Structure 1
Amino acid sequence: MVVRGVAVSSMTVEDCEAYKDFLVAPSPAFTGPKRSRAGGRWRPFAPGGLSPDSQAYAVRVLRAAFTWLTDVRYLAGNPWSAVHDPATVTREVPVQVGRALPAGLWTGLRAALDARCAGDEAEGQDAEARQWRTARAAILLMGDSGLRRDEAAHARRENLRLLSLPSGGAPVWALTVTGKRRKQRTVPVSVATVRALREHWADRGRDFDAALDSAPLIVPLVIPVTGTARKKHGGAVEASYTTDAFGHLVRQAIQRVTVEFAARPDVPKEHLVQLANTSAHAFRHTFGTRAVARKMPVDVVQAILGHASLQTTSIYVRAEQQRMLEAAAQYYAADDGPG
């Protein structure tokens, strides 16, 4: 309306194409530094225009808006239906497999968690052990099943089942979760994880093995004193962790273990650095790297992790190959010497 003097109801395909060009390089009157929308100096675009991805997103939004205006008969037609999206490049998904814990560190962390969870009946120490048992269940649920933080936080008991295998082997625990793009998938759950969950449920005064028990797998045992938290967790129905609170539970436990490891001479410095920078999502990567290292088929790893593309899962394979080559190089260097 401002640049071309055309009303929205009169836009043509040529006007839409002109707007696409405008998104590449908005005129100076529409650009400016970031400011409050309430101020008179606010402008809709930053200097330099939109990125190709943002341009394509803007076109899709406008096309959808005009489709709705056409459906409600405000417009006679949708000129954006004849306009192609701006060209974009689909970038490789940056899966940060370097965050995965090495096998030795993962084993040491689990041993440290088990020791912390033992606790005793002394006043205060048993309450602390219960909190450690909550954190251990959360970490194992991600590290042994490859769940995302949100998936683990909202996992429920009624979706965890003991399934018999057609081959006649030992039954396997399986958990159904809803992940990205609202897609359901079923992941295996280790015996160690189920054992940790049982202890966490015992701390809650609940029977983990009760038939058809409907409740979150993991819930807070220590409720903050804020009114919102009290209201959320004060009812008869147990409330699950929020995604951020779940991540905070895990990070807090890892930070305390890192302090403990720092006083031990047998823990390498690089392990301390990695553990200090470990987030909840790192345990999902830990599962991926361990699964590939143990020769689990890549398509099975893809299904468990819920990757839409096998290309994403293959990053774990390339990372394992890289580790193998580096280890081989060090092995040969010890015999052959420099060069």
Structure 2
Amino acid sequence: MAERRPRSEKTVASGETVDIPRGFTTKDFTALRAYMQRIQPAIIARTYYDPDEDPHAATPGAMERYLTGMLDTLVQLALAHGSTALPEHLRASIRQHGQPKLTAVTFRMVTEAAQLAAAAPHPDHAIGAWLRPRLARRLTGEGIATLGELVAFCNRRGPSWWRSIPRIGRGRARAIVSWLCKQQASLQLTVEIDIDSEERDGVPLATDEVVEVVPESHIDGGASWEKKRLTLAPLERLSVPHALSGAHGENRLSAFCYIQANHDLDAVRAYLNRFRDQPKTLRAYTKELERFLLWAVVLRGKALSDLRVDDCEAYKEFLKKTDPRFVGERFARHSPRWRPFAVTADGSAVLSADSQRYAIRVLRGAFAWLVDVRYLAGNPWRAVNDPVVIKRASAMKIECALPADLWHKLRNELDVRSKEAGATQWRAVRAAILLMGDSGLRREEVAKARREDLSPSFYGTLERPVWELTVVGKRLRERIVPVSPATLDALHAHWADRRKSFDVVDGDSAPSGPLVAPVIIPWTDAARRRHRKAEGCDALPVSEAGYTADALNRLIGRMLNELVETMDALDLGDRMRLGRANAHAFRHTFGTQSVADEVPVDVVQKVLGHASLQTTTIYVQAEKQRVLEELAGYYARLASNPTRP
């Protein structure tokens, strides 16, 4: 609930002594303006107030008394604090009519002179005290009860914060944000700059610009209520002061440099350009280098080409305990709320020892390349040891693989749900899961798999037809994997939903396109930017770009959660296993189930695309089972004969 408005001293405006509230909101001023325009109090109460939260709006009489009392208070303040002409006009009007008769101009002058009566918004105030009832009800329906919660909601969701709230369009949203921006000093809260920014191609114009980051010691906190906040930006929008650019770094090599780099940012971008055809590697290396660069400039106050071994050791310690100002929730890279480190699922921001070691090795490799191209004179990371990590018994966590009985239950349930009318998402998920669970594909490989790379195998027969799919996996290694009849059936059904022919028809060209793709694309600017419509399709939009790996993972996760909640054939253990499963679990399921069914390990290795046979042997459970069974027998014999020497 909002704080109660403070009450004024007793005032006399029309011969009657009354207690009048002194803290009026913008909503009150709007209602009074409507009253001065002779709008009925009942309409004013219904339009601007909620009787449950505003008792003075319960009846037309109470509403009129409240408004006349408010007018009296404002007139008294105008008499005391207005210009010379205004009090004289008001006194003459009171003598003639018994009360002030205000025109539109004099009413505006009264409200301007009566700003002493305006209440300052507070983060704990209920939104119903400042916004109209219908708007307030829609916001509270989304769990937004106070002004502080509204600012936090806008900042958390970004420029499209209003899309999840029913019947609040772009116009109302901009009006709300505009008012919040004007009240920042009173609320002592900051509304991010991109919340009210116009967009171009989905990117707020306010954030589509280069950001210069400066050392922590140069940052001014601004107003007393503003926190000292670091200016951080991702590599593509990053700029640094000339003194910290590395243009004259101590570690710069004076000899001829093989790359055209005037400063450290140029050199880093030249290094990352080597991985432009490896998007996953490029994304991972960019993350580590921009983290290190921001730390060096903002917290260390040095350029990359000025860093020595002790600086590298300091960054190694920084990774163990990250500065909270470098950490935040996941946001788009163009958002001012973006931070180099993301909060993990458990709410912490601590990198694992493996992640710390990975970061150090990436930086050591990047600096080694800069030395090789003669940009740097030496590599300080060569003198820094890797963080100590525990050598795991298994490099991969295959515990998420589904046991045989649960895998069969899941397949049967997917078959049943895919036969229902309108189950287009179930049919898409079934095709994707079977590509992973029967052919051992990674989610990235499923997202990139195309129909033109799938064909009947030369080694198949009429009785046992075999299809093979050519995929490009990790490190750009091409391999051929078999595709099961169940997967082919799922793909046929999914392509029928997309209104495309899966099989080659006489006289037609061979079908092409992603094996798994969205059937319906939402009619929004963002969706249309991500996907292309099929040419000549007179039905709903169909994507020719397919799913991204992350989108496919989210879709599978959402459908698995629904199965956990609604599937009848599951016991408690099955629900727990299925609830922990993700898209990659089905690749591990293929490995464990095929090896358990005595498929040769070298065959499984080739299907999975493992570079080493040793990696594939983690799916062999026989040795582990034999060790446990032998020791269990030993423990039993020891317990039955405790006196045995």
Q: Under TM normalisation by the shorter chain, which class is it?
A: 0.7 to 0.9
- Matched residue of 1:275: which SS? helix
Q: 1:323 to 1:252 in 2, by over 3 A?
A: farther
1:107 matched to 2:107? The reply is no
The match for 2:496 among 192, 202, 211 is: 202
The match for 1:281 among 579, 584, 590 is: 584
Pairwise CA distance, 1:212: 2.3
Contact 2:466–2:482 at 8 Å: present in 1 too?
yes
**Aligned ranges 1:1-339 → 2 under 5 Å:** 7-9=250-252, 19-20=308-309, 22-25=311-314, 33-35=323-325, 53-68=358-373, 70=374, 79-80=377-378, 88=386, 91-92=391-392, 94-119=395-420, 126-127=421-422, 129-165=423-459, 170-210=464-504, 212-236=510-534, 238-261=544-567, 263-264=568-569, 267-317=570-620, 319-323=621-625
- Partners of 1:209 and 1:27 lie apart in 2 by 56
Pairwise CA distance, 1:268: 2.9
- Matched residue of 1:144: which SS? helix
Q: 1:36 to 1:279 in 2, by over 3 A?
A: closer
Contact 1:289–1:320 at 8 Å: present in 2 too?
no
Q: Give CA-to-partner distance per residue, 1:199-225, whole Å, 9 cap, x none.
A: 111121111112521100011113234
Tell me which moved more, 233-242 or 267-276.
Answer: 233-242
Tell me which moved more, 245-254 or 282-291.
Answer: 245-254
Amino acid in structure 1 at the alignment position of 2:312: L
Contact 1:138–1:218 at 8 Å: present in 2 too?
yes
Amino acid in structure 1 at the alignment position of 2:501: D
Contact 2:309–2:381 at 8 Å: present in 1 too?
no
Report the structure number with the largest CA radius of gyration: 2
Contact 2:316–2:360 at 8 Å: present in 1 too?
no
Pairwise CA distance, 1:301: 1.2
Contact 2:400–2:585 at 8 Å: present in 1 too?
yes
TM-score by length of 2: 0.41
Q: 1:79 to 1:280 in 2, by over 3 A?
A: same
- Partners of 1:244 and 1:58 lie apart in 2 by 26
- Partners of 1:209 and 1:189 lie apart in 2 by 15
Following TM superposition, the consecutive aligned residue runs of length 4 or more in structure 1 with deviations greater than 6 angstroms are: 166-169, 324-330
Contact 2:401–2:592 at 8 Å: present in 1 too?
yes
- Partners of 2:587 and 2:407 lie apart in 1 by 12
- Matched residue of 1:107: which SS? helix
Q: Calculate the aligned-residue CA RMSD, in Å.
A: 4.0
- Matched residue of 1:104: which SS? helix
Q: Give CA-to-partner distance per residue, 1:115-152, whole Å, 9 cap, x none.
A: 11111xxxxxx22x222111111111110011111111
Amino acid in structure 2 at the alignment position of 1:260: T
Q: 1:35 to 1:83 in 2, by over 3 A?
A: closer
- Which residue in the other structure is 1:41 paired with? none
Amino acid in structure 2 at the alignment position of 1:165: Y
- Partners of 1:167 and 1:113 lie apart in 2 by 28
List alignment gaps of at least 5 residues for structure 2: 1-242, 256-304, 328-335, 337-349, 536-543, 641-645
Q: 1:85 to 1:173 in 2, by over 3 A?
A: farther
Amino acid in structure 2 at the alignment position of 1:197: L
- Partners of 2:556 and 2:495 lie apart in 1 by 18
- Partners of 2:517 and 2:315 lie apart in 1 by 50
- Which residue in the other structure is 1:122 paired with? none
Amino acid in structure 2 at the alignment position of 1:213: P
Pairwise CA distance, 1:87: 5.4
Give the fraction of aligned pairs with identical amino acids, expressed as a percent: 38
Pairwise CA distance, 1:181: 1.5
Contact 2:312–2:384 at 8 Å: present in 1 too?
no
Q: 1:258 to 1:67 in 2, by over 3 A?
A: same
Contact 2:251–2:377 at 8 Å: present in 1 too?
no
TM-score by length of 1: 0.74
Question: What is the aligned length?
Answer: 300
- Partners of 1:310 and 1:52 lie apart in 2 by 25
Pairwise CA distance, 1:234: 4.4
Q: 1:168 to 1:236 in 2, by over 3 A?
A: closer
- Matched residue of 2:469: which SS? strand
- Partners of 1:27 and 1:85 lie apart in 2 by 12
- Matched residue of 2:252: which SS? helix
- Partners of 1:327 and 1:163 lie apart in 2 by 42
- Which residue in the other structure is 2:270 paired with? none
Pairwise CA distance, 1:32: 8.2
Contact 2:400–2:577 at 8 Å: present in 1 too?
yes
- Matched residue of 1:143: which SS? helix
List alignment gaps of at least 5 residues for structure 1: 39-45, 120-125
Contact 1:254–1:276 at 8 Å: present in 2 too?
yes
